[in-house]
Copies of this chain bind each other. A is one copy, B any other.
Amino acid sequence: MNYQKILFEIEEELKDFPNNGKIATYIPELSKVNPDKFGGYLYCVNGTHSSFGDAEERFSIQSISKTFGLSLAMLLKGDELWKRIDVEPSGSSYNSLYQLERENGIPRNPFINSGALVITDILLSEYDHPKDEILKFVRKISGVESIDFDESVAESEKLHGHRNAALAHLMKAFGNIHNDINTILDIYFYQCSLAMSCGELAKTFMLYANEGKILETNEEIMPPIKIQRINALMQTCGFYDEAGEFAFRVGLPGKSGVGGGIVAIHPEKYSAVVWSPKLNEKGNSLLGMEALERLTKKTGFSIF
């Protein structure tokens, strides 16, 4: 399969695609991005890679980072993890309080904000320096030592994080948050502020396409069964209330962020990342969804 040719076709086709998406503006730092950025990167399990456009420019990966926190928590904890978080699609928006209240402070899944906050709470209970551990994990898997948090994004988020604080306090009222809420929010916002390029993300997410092993070194970081479960969670819950649409149109597990990045995994085939900052109404990259849909159409196969 000539992935490079396919990527160039997609780039060409989408040049004039009518994009009425809007960049995220809820924090000032995010709104500074150039809305016309567009890049993609595909990393194949045979070691080859292909890319187009702004594939090497770093952007704020935001919720894509939830996969890293989840992976660390699953390495630290056994099945008792799932007593504190469920594995079901929420059918609601990513920061909904309604369901959390009705379900006694147990988040529907680890990819909505409440779930990611419980994950952060777990990391804080287990690690002395959770932020360092998150960085260490991403740097190791990607092999890129320069990956770092974007402090200005993280601090900006703190000033506008009242809804996340509401989620955390509600869960604390139900006994499902154990540590100090401000500390949890600090770690959570730093994790979200990770700045990475399409290429760096593709290398990192190769772990999830390659049964838990780093492709270059063959080192196993996670057992295959846990990787399968994370992929299943990305499939059913990775796109908030648009998870069904992504499965329907693209047919791959994946994870999006409000920075405009989308990661998709074709297990045992490739990891693919697209970045375009303008978001559709559900908060996912409009062009990113479109590009990935064309990718699985042109290659003729999804996981389904």
Contact = CB atoms under 8 A, between A and B. Distances in A.
Nearest to A242: B88
A86 interface: yes
Contacts of A248: 87, 229, 232-233, 236
Interface stretch (A30-38, A41-49, A101-109): A101-109
A39 interface: no
Contacts of A89: 88-89, 91, 236, 243-244
A166 B173 contact: yes
Most chain B CB atoms below 10 A, which of A89, A92, A248, A304: A304
Interface size range of chain A in the complex: 35 or more
A231 B227 CA distance: 21
Contacts of A237: 244
Interface string A50-91: 000000000000000000000000000000000000111111
A245 interface: yes
Interface in A86-118: 86-92, 96-99, 101-102, 108-109
Number of copies: 4
Nearest to A88: B244
Contacts of A96: 101
A260 interface: no
A139 B109 CA distance: 40
A249 B3 CA distance: 32
Nearest to A297: B225
Interface in A242-257: 242-245, 247-248, 251, 253
Contacts of A225: 297
Contacts of A86: 244
Contacts of A242: 88
A112 to B, nearest CB: 11
A15 interface: no
A90 B91 contact: yes
A5 interface: no
Nearest to A93: B101
A90 B245 CA distance: 12
A124 interface: no
24 contacts: A88-B89, A88-B241, A89-B89, A89-B243, A91-B108, A97-B98, A97-B170, A98-B102, A162-B170, A165-B166, A166-B167, A225-B297, A227-B304, A228-B251, A228-B302, A231-B304, A232-B251, A233-B248, A235-B235, A235-B247, A236-B243, A236-B244, A237-B244, A303-B304
Interface of A: 86-92, 96-99, 101-102, 108-109, 162-163, 165-167, 169-170, 172-173, 224-225, 227-229, 231-233, 235-237, 241-245, 247-248, 251, 253, 267, 297, 300, 302-304
